[in-house]
Amino acid sequence: MNILILGYGKMGKIISEIAESRGHSIAGKINIDNRHELDDLDPKDIDVAIEFSQPEAAVENIKWAISNGIPIVSGTTGWLDQKPAIEKLTLENNGTFFYASNYSIGVNIFFKVNEFLAKLMGEQSDYQASMEEIHHTEKKDAPSGTAITLAEGIIKNISKLNKWELSENMNGNEHALPITAKRIDPAPGTHIVRYRSEIDDIEISHTAHSRKGFALGSILVSEWIIDKKGVLSMDDFLSF
C-alpha cells in the first residue's frame, strides 16, 4: 500500500516508521514547507492519505485528497466547525473520509466506558461532573479533540448539562461541563473524567505512554479503509 503522509511532524514520522515496518511504502511526506510538492504527485500512485497536520492546514489537505479520489484518514483536531462541509464534499465526490479525534484502540474503548458511566450518573443529582486533560506544550487546540469527544458522551447522557466550557470560562454556569486543559511536556495525553460529591468521588482516566498507539491505529484504519466509501468513524472500524 502506498501511503501519503500529510503533516510530517512528530506523529507523521512515527506513522512513516510503523507503516514501513508493516511493509507499506511512503508515497510522499508533506508539511508546511513543501506543500507545493502535492502538485507533482500522481493520485493514481497513492492508495490512502493519512493526515495529521495543523488545524489551519487540515481542511485544504482533506479537500485535496477527496478531490483527487484519494481515501483520507484524518486525526487533526481544532477544525471541526468545517467538518459538515467536508462530509458533504465526500458524498458529492463518492469519496472516502475517515475522521477520529483519537486513533488509539484503548481511547476508543475509554469513550464507551465514559458513556456507560455517564448513563449511570445521569440520575445522581448529588454528583458534579468535570474533566481534565493534559498534553504537551506543542498542542495548539484546547481542549483536545479527545476531550471534546468525551464531553459530548457525558452531555448526551446527563440532562442538566447542555454544553462544555473551559474551566476559566465557566462564570458559574452549572449547566456546562468544566474542562481543565493543561499543557505540560512531555505528556502525550492524559484524560480524566470525575464525578464529585460531598460523600465520595468517582474517577476514570486514560493515559497514553507514547504516540505509537495513535500512529498504529491510523495505519490499521488505512489498511481497512481501502475498499470503503463514504464518511466513516472508529465506530465503523471497531464495529461498536
pLDDT at 240: 57
Q: What are the extents of the domains in the chain?
A: 2-103+212-238, 105-207
Residues with Cβ within 8 Å of 226's Cβ and at least 6 positions away in sequence, in order, are 1, 47, 48, 71
The percent of residues in the chain predicted with pLDDT above 90, rounded, is 83
Give every strand in the sheet of 128-135, ordered side by side.
Answer: 163-166, 176-183, 128-135, 190-196, 201-207
* Mean pLDDT of the residues in the chain: 94
Q: Are 226 and 1 in contact (CB under 8 A)?
A: yes
Q: d(Cα 11, Cα 17) in Å, to the nearest integer?
A: 10
| Catalytic machinery residues | 135, 139
| CATH 3.40.50.720, applies to 2-103+212-238 | yes
**pLDDT digit string (tens) for 115-152?**
999 999 998 999 999 999 999 998 878 999 899 999 99
pLDDT at 203: 98
Mean pLDDT value across residues 163-172: 92
pLDDT at 78: 86
Fold match flag (2-103+212-238 vs 105-207) = no
Name the residue with higher pLDDT: 195 or 214: 195
Q: Are 98 and 73 in contact (CB under 8 A)?
A: yes
3-state secondary structure (DSSP) of residue 131: strand
- What is the second-level CATH architecture of the domain 105-207? 2-Layer Sandwich (3.30)
